[in-house]
Amino acid sequence: MQQVPDPVVRYGADYTNPGYEAKNKGKSAPNAPYALLPTPYSLFPVPCSLFNVKIMSNNPNYDALKAAMKSLHDQTVFPVAGKDFRHIGSTFMCRTEIDSVSSDFHRGIDIGEMDGQAGDDDIIAAYDGVFWGYREYSGAGFTVMLSHQFPTPFTYHGKTVKYFYTWYCHLDKDSSLPIVSDWKQGKHGEAISAGQLIGKMGKSGETNVVHLHFEIRIGTNNSLEYQLANPKVTQWGFDPHIHPMLLYQPHAPAASPSLTQVGSCVPGNPVVLEYAIHREQPLLNRVEIKIIDRSTEMAVKSHVVDLTLREGMDPTKTKKLDNLDRDKTHFECIPFGYHPTVSEYKTKIIIPAEYIDSYFDSNYQLKIEVSDIWDYKVGEILSLSV
């Protein structure tokens, strides 16, 4: 049996929710509507140079995380029996609601289909581990949590990481609770095998659509927001949520992503690019922009948004994570929902006019690099000549 780490907090009746403070956490794509861009952009051909390359991230934290996750790939299973990557309806990404100026940083993936019924689909353990606990949250609904051990510990943000945790949310309580109770009345530490039944898909909590909200947290179950608000718990110093697709190796179809400029690159307008990739690979993770002085080939201004490392984001409070800094480069997700006919996962990348307007000159150019979770990078270099 896997050794059980000594938890900071047990999941008893008085347990405080560590990661679902915001009201929209765990909502499915169709039920947390997103706003598309307010301006009707059209494709506009411009002189540019497009490049595709796979490189190392040159970030020891992220490289260590990738290596640790890759070591699990030959033993992981998709968490919904009979379903696969085609059934992902919402990914690990910033999302904007139509009826609100606020956003939702969705720290997991949603799996399901439009006509799913509560109790029909089996939720299974994604990797060998132990039962950690279960709880009913107002947002995430009936949730089961498992603890798993990495084959080899690694260092991440200065901390030694030995364990990761998987969360299975919005379960159907009526059909899932008897399954949980069978494990010696839900005893903490009971061994669970990859592929073992742990619950049934439902729509408990804040959602009207039957689906599984699936999360991975490394090192600790406690979000950074919870750590900072509760100084008596172990302080890891980082938000533990990572992209759940890191648990699975890249798979067919091995479609390359594309990056397309939308609209014109002129003073007073934002630069808008659309990133598209096959819907089975919703892996977008990072965008880095640089304004380059052509005479020196050096960057005079740069900005990064990295969803996994939270670069360019403020992870100290849920509200700050959820509300994008629209004065700098940011993502606008175009959801594909649970529609099997939609073939691509698309996201718009917005570079505000205010950020680049003072550099519209033939001496400068704009370099955009967009990476997925495995560091496959595409990009464009745009002239800033007026």
Would you say 24 and 32 are in contact if contact means Cβ atoms under 8 Å apart? yes
- What is the CATH classification number for the domain harbouring 158? 2.70.70.10
How is residue 99 written in tokens?
């009826």
The pLDDT of residue 102 is 57
pTM tops 0.85: no
Q: What are phi and psi of 304, to 5 degrees?
A: -130, 140
227 and 307 together in one domain: no
Report the sign of the C-alpha dihedral through residues 17, 210, 176, 188, in that order. negative
The residue type at 227: Q
208 and 314 together in one domain: no
**Residue 22 within a domain:** no
89 and 238 together in one domain: yes
**Residue 23 within a domain:** no
How is residue 276 written in tokens?
């598209």
272 and 356 together in one domain: yes
Residue whose entry in the numeric block shows the structure tokens 């949730």:
143
The pLDDT of residue 315 is 73
How is residue 173 written in tokens?
């309580």
78 and 209 together in one domain: yes
- Compute the distance between CA of residue 289 and CA of residue 291 in angstroms, rounded to an integer: 7
How is residue 299 written in tokens?
């960057």
313 and 260 together in one domain: yes
Element (H, E) at 61: helix 60-70
**Long-range residue pairs from 219-223, CB within 8 A, at least 24 positions apart, any chain:** 219/156, 219/159, 219/161, 219/162, 219/163, 219/164, 220/8, 220/165, 221/7, 221/8, 221/9, 221/18, 221/19, 221/132, 221/145, 221/165, 222/8, 222/9, 222/18, 222/19, 223/18, 223/19, 223/318
Boundary residue ending a domain (247, 281, 316): 247
**Residue 327 within a domain:** yes
108 and 242 together in one domain: yes
Boundary residue ending a domain (247, 269, 297): 247
**Residue 66 within a domain:** yes
**Residue 5 within a domain:** no
- Compute the distance between CA of residue 139 and CA of residue 44 in angstroms, rounded to an integer: 42
**Residue 258 within a domain:** yes
Compute the radius of gyration of the chain from its Cα atoms.
Answer: 21
129 and 229 together in one domain: yes
The pLDDT of residue 185 is 65
- Compute the distance between CA of residue 296 and CA of residue 154 in angstroms, rounded to an integer: 39
- Compute the distance between CA of residue 157 and CA of residue 242 in angstroms, rounded to an integer: 14
> Residue 155's beta-bridge partner residues?
160
The pLDDT of residue 75 is 94
User: Strand, coil or helix: what is 187?
Assistant: coil
Q: What are phi and psi of 91, to 5 degrees?
A: -110, -175
Boundary residue ending a domain (201, 223, 247): 247
The pLDDT of residue 169 is 95
**Residue 206 within a domain:** yes
142 and 236 together in one domain: yes
**Residue 11 within a domain:** no
102 and 162 together in one domain: yes
- What is the CATH classification number for the domain harbouring 309? 2.60.40
- Compute the distance between CA of residue 76 and CA of residue 58 in angstroms, rounded to an integer: 27
Would you say 36 and 116 are in contact if contact means Cβ atoms under 8 Å apart? no
pLDDT tens string for the chain (386 positions)?
344 333 322 222 222 333 333 333 333 333 333 222 222 222 223 333 444 444 444 577 889 999 999 999 999 999 999 998 888 888 878 776 545 555 677 888 898 876 778 878 999 999 999 999 999 998 899 999 999 999 999 999 889 999 999 999 999 999 988 888 876 666 778 899 999 999 999 999 988 889 999 999 999 888 887 888 888 888 888 889 999 999 998 755 556 788 988 878 888 889 999 998 888 888 889 999 999 999 999 999 999 988 888 888 777 777 766 667 777 788 876 555 666 677 788 888 999 999 889 999 889 999 999 999 988 888 889 988 87
- Compute the distance between CA of residue 230 and CA of residue 330 in angstroms, rounded to an integer: 30
259 and 326 together in one domain: yes
Q: How far is CA 344 from CA 53, 139, 253, 279, 282, in A?
A: 20, 28, 12, 4, 9
- Compute the distance between CA of residue 284 and CA of residue 306 in angstroms, rounded to an integer: 9
Q: Give residue 147's domain range.
A: 29-34+60-247
Would you say 324 and 347 are in contact if contact means Cβ atoms under 8 Å apart? no
Would you say 379 and 50 are in contact if contact means Cβ atoms under 8 Å apart? yes
Rounded (5°) CA angle 334-246-110: 45
The pLDDT of residue 301 is 92
Q: How far is CA 341 from CA 86, 278, 344, 380, in A?
A: 10, 12, 9, 29
Number of domains in the chain: 2
Which segments of 203-362 does DSSP mark as H helices, in order? 224-229, 318-322, 353-356
The pLDDT of residue 223 is 82
205 and 296 together in one domain: no
How is residue 328 written in tokens?
């700098």
